[in-house]
Structure 1
Amino acid sequence: MQPFVNRALLWLIMLGFAFPALATHQVGGQIEMRAIGDLPGHFEILVTNYLEDNYRAAQTFGGPVGIFRKRDNVRMLVFTVSETGQRQRVVFTNEACATSKNQRMIVATFSADIQLDPYLYNDVGGYYMAYQTQNRNDGINNINNPVQTGFTFYLEFPALQKNGQNFTNSSPRFTSVNGEYLCINEAFTFPYGGADPDGDELRYSMVTPLNRSGTGRNMETTPGPYPDVQWLSGFGANNAIPGSPSLSIDPQSGQLSVTPNQLGLYVFAVKVEEFRAGVKIGEVRRDFQFLVIDCPPLATPDPPIWATSLPVGTEFTICKGKSLELQTTLNKDWNYQWRKDGINLPDATGTKLTVHEPGQYSVFVSLKTLCGKASGSQNVQVNVVDLTSDITSAGQLCATDGSVTLTVLAGNGISYQWYHNEKALTGNANLYQATQPGQYRAVLTQPQYGCSYQTADVALTRAAPVMAAIQSAQNKLCPGGSLSLEGAGGVSFAWSRDGQAVATVSEPAFSVQTAGSYVVEVTAANGCKAVSAPFVVVQIPGVDVKLDAVPSVCGPDGPVFQLTGSPAGGTFAGPGVNGAQYDAKAAGIGNHVLTYTVNFAPECPGAVAQQTAVVAPIPTLLFPEEIITSPGKSLTLNAEMTGDPVKFAWSPPTYLADPTEAGARVEGIEDDMVYTLSVENATGCQADASVVVTVYERIWIPTAFSPNGDGQNDVWELRSIEAFPEAEVTVFNRWGEVIYHSKDGYAHPFDGTLKGEPVPPGMYTYLIRYEPKKPVLRGTLMVLR
């Protein structure tokens, strides 16, 4: 043993010189965002922080967390996480390693309960949250100035509302990590993956750890982007721990693997991306660190595991509430560390382990006092038969019928015995159909392992009778009307008429239009049913009411008419009606609705017949006194009309395209004409009027006028120029300059002024173009003052 002891002491001395003994603070961790599930946007935020177990860790109590919008880094919220629960130490497989390198670590959990408004968190780009702290370990060998390098815990999450619908998501969840060390040139694997509570796909990759963005000792809530730590030369995200191969992660499982070839303490980071239906919706960063040591050449053998007093095996089954003792070989020079599902168990460092829970158990052994490579046993699977079950019930015992299905835990190899009022019932199933009130319980047995469980009693009682009824103000149905029936006694309703179900009605209110015998089946909130007594609806026979027509009248001075309706005994009403008479003059011009109402039953509104009495206006026509045109022209004759005429007749038809049009089209007129229009409206009221059409062949041109403001001859009046609407008139002075020009048919006659100033008296010349194919008219004009 002496050579080995000397070599081990030498190794411990070299290890002490190889790495600084200064212990500082941050080791690793991550943020988790867990949906509570009661309200949209309600979350528990967990910050898991791995710390060196020293006075600096004792001063860490949580701090602010900032939420920011990814699109523009706008800060949405700042909240504080505080410590919950008791701090737990990180269990090393070989505690000698933790002691020799001051690598004792604890895990502190900080949390907060927050409520986010989905209406505010609806940006398609998503959001991120960050928790920042300072000071990594001074002994880290792969980044620059680690003691002055900070730490940013980082998480991304999607919009809480998409397309107007709430979007539910929780981030991945992670179990505690083991305290592990790596032996140089030895292959090493480490389960670093998580599980997604929503069943989303997780993808893993190595990334550079994040530094903090602020300075000083204060916790920061500054927005991103956050700076990376500064790698030393030769290191990077995919070479955080040098080796052959260097540190890498399985992109699907999240398992780390490395065969290190260089001693040191190395920090690394893993990005865990969350995908749903192939689309990325979130991201979490996880930081941690590993120590690479030169393990002593001596190693312990792989320890065996067996169960006390049981045959040798790798799988054991116990009943819930029972225990199983696992043990391994005793060696006074060995250090023991038991694991459950790959995680080191606190204070499980003996040769025996009493287990109560299901899982995979193993034990790792290493030499006491030396930080060397540990050897692991085979995995032993422990199963627990848990027959614990409550009786669940579905159904209802009604007043006279009904049943309740009682159900307990189902499983292979389980036998069941049901009891009613302490009397055993027949059958061997995990459910029983109860039809009688009383006390029920079940005993579950797993004969193979001798496990048994008796449930608590469940009391069943019958419900009170359901009282179904139909209510209505009356039972008589008026012609063409409806009657409202109201079902009572339950929460759902099924109506029938004359024994036939009315499939379209399931509400308590039923508006019926048909006579018959109605019943309603009601269902109470407990599922019990009842049928009402029949409710008979009687049809009241109707009457055929008539009102004789009233002749139409032209003009406001109409006569008085006697009104006639059947059957007798009714009431007349309407404009101009007095008793059984209709006075057209009193009613006045218009279309008047007259009614005759017969009240045939006190339960029903009166039956009504109606007629429209027309007092039509006498049409009126209005033409201009004279219409002037020139030979061969076409024009349209229109009259201003009242009285709504519908028939039109022009005479004589000479030059007319259609003498029955309201606006007569005159085509190619050559002679003076007098046209008469006769009209008639829908009531037969008539009227006529005439219009004179004068045809001028030339324009009468005065040779002088006196624009002196005396009201006589103040403008140059060109008679009959109205017959030539396209006439163009120009007046020139003695020097040939234009002093007046009109292209609008002489609508604005020449008044002896130019630009508002009187022209001098004297002789002027003119030129008139009145027809495109006619010669131009030229002459002189004397302006007198």
Structure 2
Amino acid sequence: MKIRSFKSFVCILFILCGITTELSAQLGFCGGSSGDPIFSEDFGSGLTNGPALPAGTTTYNYADFTPNDGDYTISSTTNYFDWFSVQDHTPGDNNGKSFIVNASFTAGEFYRREVSGLCENTTYEFSSWLINLQRQTGCEGNGIPVNVRFQIWDETDTNLLAQGDTGDIPNRTTPLWEQYALVFKTLPGQTSVILKMRNNSNGGCGNDLAIDDIVFISCGDTVSVANDQEESAIILCEDQGSVTTTLTATPDFSIFTSHAYQWQESPDLLTWTDISGATANNYTATGVNSTTFFRAKIAEDPINVNNDLCNILSDVFELRILPIPLDAVSEGDIIRCENEDTPLTVTVPGDLIVNWYDAPIGGTLLLENSTSFSPSQAGTYYAEVNSPIITCPSTNRTAVSLTINPVPQVEDETVRFCEDGSATLSADLDNATYVWNTGENTKEIVVATPGEYSVLVTDTNGCSNTKFILLEQIDLPVIQTIISDGPSIIITTANQGDFEYSIDNISYQSTPIFDALPGGRYTIYARGREDCGVVTQDFIHLVIPKFFTPNGDNINDVFQIQGVEFFNSSSLFIFNRFGKLIRSTNENNLSWDGTFQGQNLPATTYWYRLKIEDSEFKGAFMLKR
């Protein structure tokens, strides 16, 4: 007997454990479609705590201020102890409150309430938002985690319909609201349930939480709607006539095992009307000639199909009939200058598009989906209004013309003027207005400073163009040096330019070197090729031979310096290579015959020193025999 009793006890315990394991399954959300909330609790709003929950809702004590272990409060703040200070979860809730719980030292139930107005034999989703208020650093890092069990009981509080645990909700470094849900199904004839929340953890340091936004919603299959062409929508232009199509609602059987239907229609997605007799999973819409939306209400039990607290809704099938768009409104023909980019524009309602063509009918599509168009050629262009969804064009295309006026034809140029002179700059065009960068407003201006000038020329059509003029100054040559190099005269200038040179002001040459000139007085002329004037400088050309040959042939027999006769005083000193003075003379005709004391000197190099007034010249020459 004892053994049998023990075995019976084990069997009963095993069965109970099995039931408990099944009912303690993981929490989860509705896997199909959800209806509108049939019950919600957000605990109100306001800056004062409370009110306390109705009697029987909780075994915890209500605290108007700081809730200690085993207490709760209803508050818009969680700024107690060293908890996180957070707002409630409800979106857009000004000073919204939440249910704040400081868990008791003993695990157990801390919240219950009856939820009525449910439908029998219907699947629901219960959900709520929870947050662990204890910081991760609180309780020296050893805070008790939050762990809550949700239970759904029948109205007699004897049949447990579903339950699930949140598992440990850890202490975090930053606060985090999290949503938990539980799916259950009412029994036949059952219209209310009891929601319970139990604390799975013992109290102490930690296990402090806030709860908000408790919601019950119906839960059912996801139901798609398509027609016999497997389309989920039909969009037509109104000139295509009325529409007849057969719609089929297809559930995914994720929640329901059976289905009852009621089809509805709406002109605006706001007002829905039941379609009489349309209670099958398919419905044929006949002769529809205006925009209409279709959907089905679905319930697992036919008794619930018309109860919006119990049913779910299918996807919406859209049968849209688009009206033919009104013609575009032109914002005016455009007359512009060729260097401008003023577009052609039209206006249409914001949900329509405009396409541009080169003909009133047919023609070539030039630009899509733009209310403005900037063609490069003058002409008339046509704007057609259309739907962005399907081809549904306006009855007429709107003509908009473009006239393009040419801009004044000007040419940039470079103008040169003589140093110390001026130049006249011209815009070149008559019958126009002028704006120079100097501030002047005449066709021509006179300037004397090199640089870049510009003039904005505007014709009688209001079209403008800018002419640029680079003004360059022509400098006169600046003679830097004139030297004699044997019988040659060499000229150098201090500046560069296209210069030419002369010694008689008649014949000019581009090279600054004049060869084979006898010694004497010369006037050197230098000028630019642009005829901006001539500069002159007098020069006495001293021809100092580089060698002489005293061999009695009467050709180059004497070392003689030419040009000294034009100076008031001069003297010549000749030295051999040892520095011995061989010859000195201060006559106007400075020369040497190659002898010393009546004796011919050997062929070699000799040096001279020539003094002319205040100047002195030194050099060497060869005596050749």
TM > 0.5: no
Q: Which has the higher contact order (CA 8 A, sep 6+)?
A: 2
Higher CA-based Rg: 2
TM-score interval, smaller chain? 0.3 to 0.5
**Normalization by structure 2: what TM-score?**
0.38
